Structure 1
């Protein structure tokens, strides 16, 4: 019965709109603004993925509405995104456009399951350099994917974006190349210049209009979007072929992981730049999964939370879900009333929009912060970005996390260690026969052997005091090394005293035999002074023993 409360917590409630009576005007304006900004992006991402402009537009409408209602963020705006395009392109190329709806539904179900299983906080374990390297890699891929359209050519046969761009460039004809480049330049200049005049000017839509008018008036030889549906298609359940399902399980899992990561990162960024309260990570996964399922039923693409559109929503005054809902209805208005003009938009203009969008995805100040932090973080960022561009997005995240873990482990090893220290206070006769070692930081499998080597080689000592009060973390290997150290020293006739074992470590060192290795149970101390006094008395007794015998 625990499932029912879990599912109930993931469903919409009246509380989602508690602020609407106070914020509806700002939400309405923000929704209109985001809808205008989202239109060219939705068309461009649809074309770039190979699914078509109509699929991108349908995804923005259907998924945008479902995610706004069911998602866990008050201000998140969802739809087709660049990261999803990068994954979908090879899937459509290998399995055909017929696989799009099915892979959307499969990925959506996986994301819904992740929300129900409360896996929403997993993304918080991703290191910052991995996230930034991942974002940089995606931005590079999106930019490279637009090169063929930007020069008026079809994409090259290679599945690698860089190679495909070079292949397309090699086949470009002069006339189409120049016409496409002019439109891309016009779009880029307008998008870059519009915010300088006013931050609310929708530079992308103005750029699209100007480029389209230029293409028509000058009869430029550039490819257009082509015919679009003038209404939403009726929802249908995708064809269920088990062979295709098995073939798409891997890509669907990749899409689901990517959708979860991108959506939660976007929601987290939204929380940091707005005053609309925190987000529910599990509900966000639940809502984004439903959005992809619904999008698949209408023939659309998998959807994720979109950082760029979410940021526009917040900057435009969006404070509740009504803003994202309005954005979906603005796009729905375009579907029913403006598909004719939209069909004449040049593909080169959309390529220009995505190229500028890709560049804006990368924050130079953030990159400088990562590169200027540590050498390890710099390597993690570069490796993650390189693997993203060269191989696979999910592999990039996995490899990035492994590299980050390596450097974290390396830093942890360096933070721990063993140091010999002098006995405090006035020196007494026989103190040279007493060695005090302080173990600090972390003592675990990667650092334990170094402690054993350093302490066990000691010479001309009768008593060793091991201080453990500053030991921050200890695993079974580290505890076992301490036991081996005690045994080694005791076999050599050196008495070992242990001081300052913390309560959280006591159970572990008892289980692995550290206390059993001590010569006497009284050789465990809570303070240093009694341990030193005991050591001095032990040295004194050893000196008196030969005299007594003689």
Structure 2
């Protein structure tokens, strides 16, 4: 009893260690003033990058710029404080722009808050259920396809401000949006185009010539100063939104209406999926840059808590931001304190300098998002995947097209299902079911014993052998019945060699059961030889055992052959 209690306590401690924030680990392992200096510089640097980006992403999502800042402050703080990555920087990202815009259009901003709250709870549950490692099973063509599709949609959403077009309500549907924007092409404003073009040029030149400088902020500030000095008649944050508040709102629970909860469930799943995937991808990138290792399930819990808090403060969905995380690392970050400092710096800006944001021209923020869209498109990776096998190319193109033309949720669902079907098809090709093998080598676990070989021709008359190789799962199991149907006559004994079957699923067990039932009807005894541990356990649990009168088991082919000889006399 004591041993069981001790084992249980040890397992519980090991489980809860998975959710210890990296901040606790780092601060408890010798944090020095030099480390703090690195975090301070990195936090200030990434805040400068995040400031215009948070406002631009909020505007592109169909809401006000202060929502982006609130998200970066609240969610950014909690992701760094509670997360399982040492270097993660959290906040609003381009991946959410399409989802947020559509949810607001369909369910209003209160619907978005409810969906974000639900997504946060889903992420917390996923983290405690230790589903963090499952993210690696999302195929790269799916991730690249919907990321590139989001990039196209973000770019299309900025055409209005890039060219200063006079348009009323821009439709959310991609085709309708392009038609409306094209119809308004004659209203293009030269001043807005000059501001956007200049901002783009500044960002591109600084990235090439002085990559360490905050190109986004310099371009936005420069555009704001130029518009003010020259009196250019372009739309600004102040003219469209009336500026941004100098405080963050008090937390408030979104209205919990059962009908609305049901309506926003698909959006909540999409937000949770995107937040989980992007945050863990960002953590993997950070690990690759630093040699550190993140705690994926702890990161999911932190992302969930951050999204719940963001919803309570009327913010947007949040996740780990790959570009901002990389910027923080390159700026000398040593711990999650860099992300906390980044969030506090943004809070200080909002409290002290928010009125200045009213002078920011929207054309300059559109230029920022054009660069974000270009980075998200991952042209090189897309081009590289186009040289992959046809099935992967099909998944990539369909996911991309559905993201742009239909809906992000549909794109993810269809992409993952297609990729799964493709994988199952490929795995089914790996599985082989052979009859009448002329030469067989039986491995011996004890290396001191000689390897034993068998010639199929030495099998007595009336004994047939089928050899299975590969996982016996639902995509391949039916081949065994096809092989049975192809036999010209029923033998007295069939030796079913399964030593090379590493795993089996419920469909595989069902097919084996049907195979044995058919053999019983033909008066054939089935000898199953060399069952490995995983299939043996599944077969036992599902009742595939000696309860079948014509079914027997043998540890090896040699033992099965001896039994067969005795049966046919």
Length-normalised TM-score, structure 1:
0.84
Q: CA deviation at 1:353?
A: 0.8
Alignment RMSD, CA only? 3.6
Q: CA deviation at 1:249?
A: 4.3
What's 2:346 paired with? 331
The alignment status of 1:15 with 2:45, answered yes or no, reads: no
Partner of 1:42: 54
Q: CA deviation at 1:23?
A: 1.7
Q: Deviations over 1:479-510 (max 9, x none)?
A: 44345445545655666544323344345556
Task: Give the secondary-structure state (helix, strand or coil) at the position aligned to 1:207.
Answer: helix
Seen in structure 2, the aligned counterparts of structure 1 residues 7 and 298 have a Cα distance that, compared at 3 Å, is farther
Task: Report the CA distance between 1:347 and its aligned residue.
Answer: 0.9
What CA deviation, in whole Å up to 9, does each residue of 1:9-61 have, x standing for no partner? 56786434345414222222211221111111111012112221122223222
SS at match of 1:473: coil
Q: Encode CA deviations 1:185-217: one digit per residue, 9 max, x unaligned.
A: 323333223222233122222222333344344
Q: Which residue of 2 aligns with 1:270?
A: 286
CA distance change for structure 1 residues 20 and 142 in 2, over 3 Å: closer, same or farther? farther
**Structure 1 partner of 2:43:** 31
For 1:519 and 1:293, locate their aligned partners in 2 and report how far apart those are by CA, in whole Å: 59
1:292 Cα deviation (Å)? 3.3
Correspondent of 1:455 among 452, 468, 484: 484
Change (3 A) 1:456 1:490: farther
Which of 438, 449, 468 aligns to 2:467? It is 438
Q: Residue 110 and residue 370 in structure 1: after superposition, are their counterparts in 2 closer, same or farther (change >3 A)? A: same
Match of 2:496 among 455, 466, 480: 466
Deviation at 1:350, TM superposition (A): 0.8
Residue 334 of structure 1 deviates from its aligned partner by 2.8
CA distance in 2 between partners of 1:236 and 1:243 (Å): 21
2:153 aligned to which of 114, 134, 141: 141
In our comparison, the structure showing a higher alpha carbon Rg is 1
Return the offset for 1:222. Answer: 2.1
Alignment of 1:61-460 (within 5 A): 61-97=73-109, 104-105=116-117, 107-116=119-128, 118-153=130-165, 154=167, 156-176=169-189, 178-226=190-238, 227-229=242-244, 231-238=246-253, 240=255, 242=257, 246=261, 249-250=264-265, 251-275=267-291, 277-420=292-435, 421-423=437-439, 435-459=464-488
- Is the alpha carbon distance of 1:73 and 1:507 closer, same or farther for their aligned partners in structure 2, counting shifts above 3 Å? closer
Q: Is the 8 A contact 1:19 1:320 kept in 2?
A: no
- Residue 546 of structure 1 is matched in structure 2 by none
- Alignment partners' CA distance in 2, 1:239 and 1:181: 40
CA gap of 1:175–1:221, structure 2 versus 1, over 3 A, is: farther
8 A Cα contact 2:82 2:302, kept in partner: yes
Q: Is the 8 A contact 1:144 1:162 kept in 2?
A: no
User: How far apart are 1:115 and its partner, in Å?
Assistant: 4.2
With over 3 angstroms needed to count, the CA separation of the structure-2 counterparts of 1:221 and 1:184, relative to structure 1, is same
Unmatched tracts of structure 2, length 5 or more = 1-8, 441-453
Residue-pair matches, total: 535
Report the CA distance shift for 1:487/1:49 in structure 2 as closer, same or farther (over 3 A). closer
Please state how far the C-alpha of 1:323 moved relative to its aligned partner: 1.2
| Conserved 8 A contact 1:63-1:294 | yes
Structure 2 equivalent of residue 55 of structure 1: 67
